Amino acid sequence: MNFSLIGALQILFKILIFPGLLFVVVIGLFLAGIDRKLVARMQKRVGPPLRQPWFDFLKLLGKETIVPHAANKAVYLAAPVIGFTGLVVMALFIPVFGYSTFSGNGDLIVLLYLLTIPAVALIIGGSASGSPYAGIGISREMVTMMSYELPLIIILLSVARKVGGSALCFSLGQIVNWQASNGCLAFHPALIPAMLAMLLVIPAEVGTQPFDVAEAETEICEGPLIEYSGAPLAVFKLNTAMKMFIMTALFTNLFFGGVSTASLIGAGIPAIALDAVIMVLICIVVTFLSMSLIHAITARFKIEHLFKFYWTVVAGLAALSLVLVWFGL
Amino acid sequence: MLKNAIAKSMMRSPWIYHINTGSCNGCDIELVAVLTPRYDAERFGFKLAGTPRHADIVVISGPVTSQSKDRLIRTLAQVPEPKCVVTLGSCPQSGNVFKGSYSVEAPVENFVHVDVAIAGCTVKPEAVIAGLYKAAEILEKKREAMNK
Ligand code: SF4
CATH number of the structural domain spanning residue B18: 3.40.50.12280
Q: What is the pLDDT of residue A3?
A: 63
Whole-number Å distance, alpha carbon B63 to ligand 1 midpoint, is: 8
Rounded Cα gap, residues A267 and B101, in angstroms: 79
Tens of pLDDT along A30-63? 888 998 888 888 888 888 888 889 888 988 888 8
Residue A167 predicted with pLDDT over 80: no
Q: How many domains does chain B have?
A: 1
B1 touches chain A (CB under 8 A): no
Q: pTM for the full model?
A: 0.87
Q: What is the pLDDT of residue A263?
A: 65
Q: How many domains does chain A have?
A: 1
Beta carbons of A87 and A246 less than 8 angstroms apart: yes
Tens of pLDDT along B66-120? 888 889 999 998 888 888 999 988 888 888 888 888 888 878 888 888 989 998 8
Query: What residue's CA is closest to ligand 1, atom 7?
Result: B24
B91 lines ligand 1 (CB under 6 A): yes
Rounded Cα gap, residues A321 and A195, in angstroms: 9
Q: What is the pLDDT of residue A206?
A: 85
In this structure, of A177-186, A199-208, A259-268, B29-38, the range with the lowest mean pLDDT score is: A259-268
Please give the mean pLDDT across all residues of chain A: 83
ipTM summary value: 0.87
B95 lines ligand 1 (CB under 6 A): no
Which is nearest to B56 in space by CA: B66, B44, B65?
B44
Q: What is the pLDDT of residue B86?
A: 92
A62 touches chain B (CB under 8 A): yes
Q: What is the pLDDT of residue A134?
A: 85
Which is nearest to A96 in space by CA: A245, A265, A315?
A245
Provide CB contacts within 8 A for A69, sequence distance 6+. none
**B57-61 and B47-48 as β-strands: parallel, antiparallel, unpaired?**
unpaired
> What is the residue range of A28's domain?
2-326
Q: What is the pLDDT of residue A132?
A: 85
Which residues in chain A are closer than 8 Å to B12, comparing Cβ atoms? 52, 55, 59
H/E/C letters for each residue in A187-233?
HCHHHHHHHHHHHHHHHHHHCCHHHCHHHCCCCCCCHHHCCCCHHHH
> What is the residue range of B76's domain?
2-147
Which is nearest to A203 in space by CA: A254, A155, A156, A152?
A152
Beta carbons of A102 and A282 less than 8 angstroms apart: no
Which is nearest to A204 in space by CA: A163, A152, A262?
A152
Distance from CA of A95 to the nearest CA of B (A): 32
User: H or E segment at B18?
Assistant: strand B15-20
CB within 8 Å: B54 and A222:
yes
**B47-48 and B15-20 as β-strands: parallel, antiparallel, unpaired?**
parallel
